[in-house]
A and B are shown apart, each in its own frame.
Chain A
Amino acid sequence: MALFARRRLEERPGPLAYHRRLFLRLIFVGSLVFLYAPIITLIIFSFNNSRRNIVWRGFTLKYYEKALNNDGLIEAFVNSLTIAGVSTVISVILGAMTAILLWRFRFPFKAPVEGAMALPIVIPEICMGVAMMAFFIRIGWPTDLIWPFNLGAITIAHITFSYPFVAMIVRARLASFNREEEEAAKDLGASEWQTMRDIIIPFMTPGLVAGALLAFTLSLDDFVITFFTSGPDTVTFPIKVYSMVRFSVTPEVNAASTVLIAITIVFTAVAMWLQSRSSQDGR
């Protein structure tokens, strides 16, 4: 009898054992379903042997083949990856430099500068898009350049909205830097540049990786701003998908999207692995 009572006591969830409460479990499962059910459906129906893509008609890979043979889609895909790659590299460099400037130096009007830097994050995307389009037309940005230079306008627009994210992430990381480490390096004979290379940049690395990841995904799936800055020869993947969907929702679109999801997952996994390795090194 006493033994039975003890067992009952053990089975009652403790105040912090949220995972053992039925109600919270239901919410957890429910939110997972709402988040991932559409994506999983998208992936499953990319293998559907039906042109209308409404009911399941059997497994096929033919739409992957079709997507691979769709030159317009592949071109858009390559454009998107190129823009994302270039804008990520430049955003990370600019963002890191901005973060160091704001962390390291005191100068007049620092607070307004810091605020203005975050503007691209808060301004509605549609306004940014219109402003970018107006700007490029106003300065007469050439539209007839050869690949990849014709992607310049889109790349610049993407850098504009993604580098503030990098700057903010790196700045937050730098806030926890122990300035005595920098002084210790100089005390041991390191120059300003050596201190930057050997002490400060290794410390910033997790922030740089996180910033790069964010910049890459922001650029890869941006639609609104890209829409306003792209021309007929500079179609990116989201814009291409949009125009295909306007025609009809074929499994081809699903197939292309699935490939994009796979690429994003691989990229994220690599970045997270890099980050966990560097945080094992440092803090």
Chain B
Amino acid sequence: MQNDKPILSISGVTKRFGASVTAVDDVSLDIREGEFFALLGPSGCGKTTLLRMIAGFEVPSEGAILLEGADISATPPNRRPINMVFQSYAVFPHMSVFDNVAYGLKVAGTPRGEIRAKVEEALSLVKLDGFAARKPDQLSGGQRQRVALARALVKRPKILLLDEPLSALDAKLREAMQLELTRLQKSVGITFIIVTHDQGEALSMADRIAVMEAGRVRQVAEPEVLYSRPNCRFVADFIGKINLFMARVVRAEGDLLHLESDALGHVDLPCPEAMAHPAPGSQITLAVRPENFRLGGEAGADDLHIPGRITDHAYFGGHSSLFVEDKAGNSITVSVQNGPSMLSEADKCDSLHIFCSKKDVLILPE
């Protein structure tokens, strides 16, 4: 289904509320046809505002939104082939499930017989067959959300927007719905744009993710790339857990940077392509994921090793987090798989070495 043709182009869009609030700041994005795209960011970073501009409820202060090449910035929401699932679901309380789902077809003047067939199809798509006659107050939160989903899908939009659709559900149901949403998206082939502040949700569902901070897009990439090669400190910190170390550039030798860090010692690493070569003496940030550290064992030729001691640990079932303090007093988080003897062994050693491979050390600008 997926190809590289953008179905939606957001180019240089800025949204200001009054003089002081810039909710969305010069955002440019291309959304490809048929993809599952996620807007991810902390609360208040402008995700909802961006989504509402795509839906047509807000008009951009600057920039343009193009749907299949045509500028829709000034088109009212009821004339856009884009539908939305609202954060509160906004199911019409005085209408039955059937009438809710049929509403969009009714106002479009679809013939009655056709409406019945389409509504039934949409309801079975979201597994609500047999609920048609119910009123929304006789439904659970999860079921109400399915009504909102069916109501939008029945219109066969070019793009479906979802604003934090899973945030009101409990953990178990949320996980089930994540799977179901991706399955649904693949089966209907409609482009989905989902807003979320839950990085796990974005990583597990989306084909591509845009990470936003304070109205700006910091990185747009596939989940694996975002996790393994974050392009800045903010993204690295926001996606998953990561250890950050300050380092000083000693000198640059072609593409190789010689760095000095009080936690990692002397490291030489290739400079990332996207980054301008830093001047000697400048500060940069190094980052290592907790699961890229190893405890004990033999150090390879290319490995960094850090002496330290375990100050604390937290048990998470499948894995544990160990908090290691190095000689300079930095706290480093190390994630280990829980084997039968792992913890007791780690508990014993008061002083130990942790290792990590050089290729797992990330250089972050800023």
Contacts and interface: CB of A to CB of B under 8 A. Distances in A.
Interface of A: 178, 180-181, 183-191, 194, 198-199, 202-203, 278, 281-283
Given A186-B78, A189-B107, A203 B83 contact: no
A174 to B, nearest CB: 14
Contacts, number: 71
Contacts of A188: 78, 83, 103-104, 107, 151-152, 155
A281 B94 CA distance: 5
B256 interface: no
A194 B79 CA distance: 14
B362 interface: no
A181 B108 contact: no
Given A178-B88, A181-B92, A203-B94, A190 B107 contact: yes
A183 B104 contact: no
Task: Give the secondary structure class of A's interface.
Answer: helix
A225 B152 CA distance: 54
Contacts of B137: 283
B86 interface: yes
Interface residues of B, number: 28
A187 to B, nearest CB: 5
Contacts of B90: 178, 180-181, 183-184
Contact of A184 (B79, B82, B84): B84
A187 B93 contact: no
Contacts of A183: 55, 57, 77, 84, 86, 90
Nearest to B84: A187
Report which residue of B76, B78, B155 has the largest number of chain A beta carbons within 10 angstroms of its beta carbon.
B78
B135 interface: yes
A180 B88 contact: yes
B243 interface: no
Contacts of B103: 185, 188, 190, 198
A210 to B, nearest CB: 17
Report which residue of B79, B90, B108 has the largest number of chain A beta carbons within 10 angstroms of its beta carbon.
B90
Contact of B92 (A186, A191, A199): A199
Nearest to B96: A281
Nearest to A190: B107
A189 B93 contact: no
Given A187-B152, A188-B152, A202-B94, 17 more contacts: A178-B90, A181-B93, A183-B84, A184-B84, A185-B107, A186-B77, A186-B78, A187-B77, A187-B78, A187-B82, A187-B84, A188-B107, A189-B104, A191-B78, A203-B94, A282-B94, A283-B93
